[in-house]
Amino acid sequence: MKKTFAAIQITILLAMLSLPSKLFAQSTNTVYLDPKQPVEARVKDLLSRMTLDEKIGQMTQVDKDAVINNKSDIVKYFMGSILSGGDSDIGDNKTVTWANLYDSLQSYALQTRLKIPIIYGIDAVHGNNNIYGATIFPHNIGMGCTRDTSLVKEEGRVTSEELAATGINWTFAPCIAVVRNERWGRTYEGFGESTDLVSEFGAAEIEGFQGDTLSGHMSILACAKHYLGDGGTFNGIDQGNTVDDEATIRKLFLPPYISAIKAGVGSVMASYSSINGQKMHGSKYWLTDVLKDELGFKGFIVSDWSAIDQLGSNFEDDVDKSINAGIDMVMLPMKYKEFYKAMNVLVSTGKIPMSRIDDAVSRILTIKFELGLFEKHFADRSLIDSVGSFSHRQVARQCVRESLVLLKRKDGVLPIPKENTRILVAGDHADNVGYQCGGWTITWQGKGGNLTPGTTILQGMFAAAPNDKIVYSENGDFSNTKADYSVVVIGEKPYAEGRGDASDLNLSKSDIDLIKKMKSYGNPVVVILISGRPMILEPILHFSDAIIAAWLPGTEGEGISDVLFGDYAPKGRLSHSWLKSMSQLPINVGDSVYHPLFPYGYGITTFNNSTKGSAPVILSAIVKKDGKHIELTFNKPMSDISLNGEDFKLNKNGLPIKEMIEPYIKKDDNTTIILSVSKGFADNDTVSVSYNSGKVKAADGGLLEHFEGFKIYNWVSN
């Protein structure tokens, strides 16, 4: 899929001069070339002039690598659309190079008999993420946590401007999957697990991309994907099977498309996945009967990458099934000659009626006219300087800080002071733009390193607090461990569809060990988690004093520093229920049994400490390695006056145990009470603690309230 783009030999000036002069002259006798005519009249006129081969060409979408060395085939096969796949880098990958590519390919399309321009598609899913130097926004999972549709709309507008600078006029976004199982490797591409949230945010981003009108100066075509039910597949398997009755499908997964249609979305991408065993690319019921006829979608449906090939073993049959089901444009992306041949055979034999062809082509042409492609043929180079501009990066920075979800905070831990504070920073995600951005960034699966200009989290910290002493060691090895704070930045490595599917959402052992190591230095530990979905946090809860879910924030790491150092209060609220363990998946708000670690909508949105004298809150508990000591940690310092072992009751393997308990305050951490027991616990024991109202108090006098069956994480074997 990934190839090196050869230097373009033809200049844009020569390309334009090579075109017939009639291209730039308006004909009063040619309705479709007259922008003053209604779109419907222009479509009707152009369609009446087209041969079958020209119509087939409009239904053809190929990857640029298929024609980069055979540009004349654009003319020969009347190609209507070109795309760049996830690994389609070109030369230096800069904006002007992409603009040159677009203009060169477009110049060939304009040499066809009817001079119908191509529409060019790309996966600009969190900014124009294929281009070096573009502004990269948080992935959608983080945007959903902002709960700010106006901000998502602005993100779409900025993306459209940076895309329009290249000439490319179509983004395969937004993904409006309602994600119901976080095992799915595309979880981060969706806004969240709530149908309502996805419906609102998908519509907002569409409005940002497409502007008030598709013909706008910087408007690009949006593409709602992946229709239908892609976020609900069994076990979260990518391209898998969604198993539900129709009423549930309609309730959970259809509303975002209704909202997208109301927002004026011009294209929809069919899903690789199936509903109850029926591949979506072959489902006339869902594509035509529901989407087009029942919901009134007037745009066109595009297939996914080589997706029609999954309908069977015979390509001609696959074309037959998909086109008759309602696919209007086929993302081949290489087999355009085979498609041309198959379509001619299928039409000549009557298997695909001309009415279906004319419907598909009319839909495609309508969008091209609405985009103004017949009038604005080439890239608008006046926009090039806007790509990655300061103002755009400031929008992304705002998106980052508003997407952060503060999951845990002990009193007094955050924000970090900006003056005379010593901070130890560790973790391989602290100084890595590639890890911050995740998948679909420059490359399809993403990668680590400084793959595009941006500000890392560590760089953001230095910029925010120049008067602090900040020391970084990726592995947490410090010559002097005495500090005021430890910040540990951990998380997932980049991935995208398919390869991102996961059967285990536990943090890596190396990340867990690093956090324990940093906690052993005796400093308050702030954990920043970089991930495309909720991860299992129980092994680190006890060793962290604050936890921030930063998702995949993109290039603007200073957005994290904005919150970390208190310039802005945390704002984000969870767009997904946060699981305790893998056994809970799938877990979603509204389930009949619902006991997440953190519920949907949760987020600490203040730096205020708990009220003086309020009841302390237990945050975590562990059985230590020796099996004879249990640590209970609270949100505030505890008092060592009148601790009574009889107030605490332990439960082992489901049964209460009677054992002498000696409680005391941990020497170097007064937010922690240690329960010392004589017999101890084995590595496979499940342990919980309850508290009967007694005399245990916080240092500020707040009386600990009764609680039952708080789970204790067993570290005996770790």
Q: What is the pLDDT of residues 352-393, one digit of tens each?
A: 999 999 999 999 999 999 999 999 999 999 999 999 999 999
Fold match between domain 12-385 and domain 618-714: no
CATH architecture of the domain with range 404-584: 3-Layer(aba) Sandwich (3.40)
CATH class of 618-714: mainly beta
* Cβ atoms of residues 198 and 227 within 8 Å: no
pLDDT at 344 over 90: yes
Average pLDDT on 83-109 reads 95
- Specify whether the CB–CB gap between 532 and 495 falls below 8 A: yes
Nearest to 333 by CA among 97, 120, 105: 120
Q: Is 224 left (phi over 0), alpha (psi -120 to 50) or beta?
A: beta
Over residues 8-33, the mean pLDDT reads 53
SS3 content of the chain, % helix, strand, coil (to 5): 35, 20, 50
Separation of alpha carbons 717 and 713, rounded Å: 11
Sequence spans of domains, the chain:
12-385, 404-584, 618-714
CATH number given to 12-385:
3.20.20.300
Cα 493 to Cα 27, 146, 428, 440, 443, distances in angstroms: 56, 23, 10, 13, 14
Please provide the average confidence, as pLDDT, over all residues in the chain: 95
**pTM greater than 0.75 (yes/no):** yes
Confidence band of 10 (pLDDT split at 50, 70, 90):
very low
- Spatial separation of the C-alpha atoms in residues 147 and 144, rounded to whole Å: 6
What confidence tens digit (pLDDT) does each residue in 658-690 have? 888 899 999 989 999 999 998 889 999 999 999
- Side-by-side strand order, sheet with 525-530: 405-409, 546-551, 525-530, 485-491, 422-426, 469-472
Spell 510-535 as b/e; 16+ CB within 10 A means b.
Answer: ebbebbbbbbebebbbbbbbbbbbbb
Q: Confidence band (pLDDT; 50, 70, 90) for 15? A: very low
At 169-196, the pLDDT tens digits run 999 999 999 999 999 999 999 999 999 9
C-beta of residue 491 within 8 angstroms of C-beta of residue 530? yes
Q: With cut-offs at 50, 70 and 90, classify the pLDDT of residue 645.
A: confident
Q: Name the catalytic one among 155, 304, 428, 631.
A: 304
From residue 228, alpha-carbon distances to 198, 225, 247, 285, 345 in Å are 13, 8, 14, 12, 30
List all residues 6 or more positions away from 616 whose beta carbon is below 8 Å from its beta carbon.
610, 634, 635, 636, 638, 697, 698, 702, 704
DSSP classification of residue 175: B
Question: Which percentage of the chain shows pLDDT scores above 90?
Answer: 92
Q: Is 87 a catalytic residue?
A: no
- State residue 674's pLDDT score: 95
What is the C-alpha to C-alpha distance for residues 341 and 513, in angstroms, rounded to an integer?
59
Q: What is the pLDDT of residues 262-297, one digit of tens each?
A: 999 999 999 999 999 999 999 999 999 999 999 999
State residue 2's pLDDT score: 38
State the greatest distance between any 2 C-alpha atoms of the chain, in Å, as a whole number.
Answer: 99
d(CA 106, CA 374): 11
Q: In what order do the strands lie in the sheet with 241-242?
A: 241-242, 274-275, 278-279
> Long-range contacts: 428-432, Cβ < 8 Å, 24+?
428/474, 428/489, 428/490, 429/457, 429/489, 429/490, 429/491, 429/528, 429/530, 430/456, 430/457, 430/458, 430/472, 430/474, 430/487, 430/489, 430/528, 431/456, 431/457, 431/458, 431/459, 431/472, 431/474, 432/456
The vertex-356 CA angle with 355 and 357, nearest 5°, equals 90
Q: Annotated catalytic residue: which of 103, 207, 431, 497?
A: 497
- Residue bearing tokens 């009319």: 362
Confidence of residue 105 (pLDDT cuts 50, 70, 90): very high
CA distance 141 to 438: 12
Overall average pLDDT of the 326-339 stretch: 98
Task: Judge contact between 19 and 27, C-beta under 8 A.
Answer: no
pLDDT band at residue 532 using 50, 70 and 90 as cut-offs: very high
Q: What percent of the chain has pLDDT over 70?
A: 96
Distance CA 114, CA 204 (A): 36
In sequence order, the 6+-apart residues with CB closer than 8 A to the CB of 257 are 176, 224, 227, 228, 268, 291, 295, 297
Q: What is the pLDDT of residues 418-451, one digit of tens each?
A: 999 999 999 999 999 999 999 999 999 999 999 9
User: What pLDDT, on the 0 to 100 scale, is given for residue 14?
Assistant: 42
Give the number of other Cβ atoms within 10 Å of residue 669's Cβ. Answer: 18
Q: Where are the alpha helices (DSSP H) in 211-238?
A: none
Residue-wise pLDDT tens digits, 22-51: 444 444 579 999 999 999 999 999 999 999
The bridge status of strand 546-551 relative to strand 525-530 is: parallel
The pLDDT value recorded for residue 641 is 67
642: pLDDT confidence band, cut at 50, 70 and 90? low
Catalytic annotation present for 497: yes
Per-residue pLDDT of 541-550, as tens digits, reads: 999 999 999 9
